[in-house]
């Protein structure tokens, strides 16, 4: 005896990718002024800083790419567009 079952298969809605805990979209919130944070820039995690910059009497907020360690020097440019950021976690020695 053969039984035919008619199932109504529907394509589920596309799931939003889950972000690891702690990551914040720059469209939702920006970091505090001049604090180094971890950021996703061009698909890579790096250390960045959100900083005020004054030029020709106008103050703008720009992202800086920190290239020399957590508290190192940075390059500030209005052409950096990270997608997400998070606070830099405390290393194990200070927990």
pLDDT digits (tens, 9 = 90+) for 57-80: 888 888 988 887 777 777 877 788
10 assigned to some structural domain:
no
Question: pTM, whole model, 2 decimals?
Answer: 0.68
- % of the chain surpassing 70 pLDDT: 77
pLDDT digits (tens, 9 = 90+) for 31-45: 987 889 999 999 999
16 assigned to some structural domain:
no
Residue 58 tokens, joined: 């106008």
Distance CA 36, CA 41 (A): 14
78 assigned to some structural domain:
yes
15 assigned to some structural domain:
no
75 assigned to some structural domain:
yes
Three-class secondary structure of residue 93 per DSSP: helix
47 assigned to some structural domain:
yes
18 assigned to some structural domain:
no
Exposure string over 64-90, b if 16+ CB within 10 A, otherwise e: bbbeeeeeeebebeeebebebbbeeee
Q: Which pLDDT belongs to residue 62?
A: 87
- The residue-averaged pLDDT of 18-24 equals 76
- Residue 5 predicted with pLDDT over 50: no
Which residues span the domain enclosing 52?
24-90
52 assigned to some structural domain:
yes
Q: Which pLDDT belongs to residue 54?
A: 82
* Total number of domains constituting the chain: 1
């Amino acid at each position: 005896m053969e039984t035919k079952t008619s199932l109504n298969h529907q394509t589920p809605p596309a799931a939003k990718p889950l972000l690891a805990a702690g990551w914040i979209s720059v469209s939702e919130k920006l970091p505090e002024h001049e604090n180094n944070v971890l950021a996703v820039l061009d698909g890579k995690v790096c250390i960045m800083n959100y900083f005020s910059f004054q030029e020709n009497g106008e103050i703008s907020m720009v992202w800086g790419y920190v290239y020399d360690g957590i508290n190192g020097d940075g390059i500030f440019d209005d052409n950096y567009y990270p997608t997400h950021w998070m606070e830099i976690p405390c290393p194990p020695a200070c927990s």
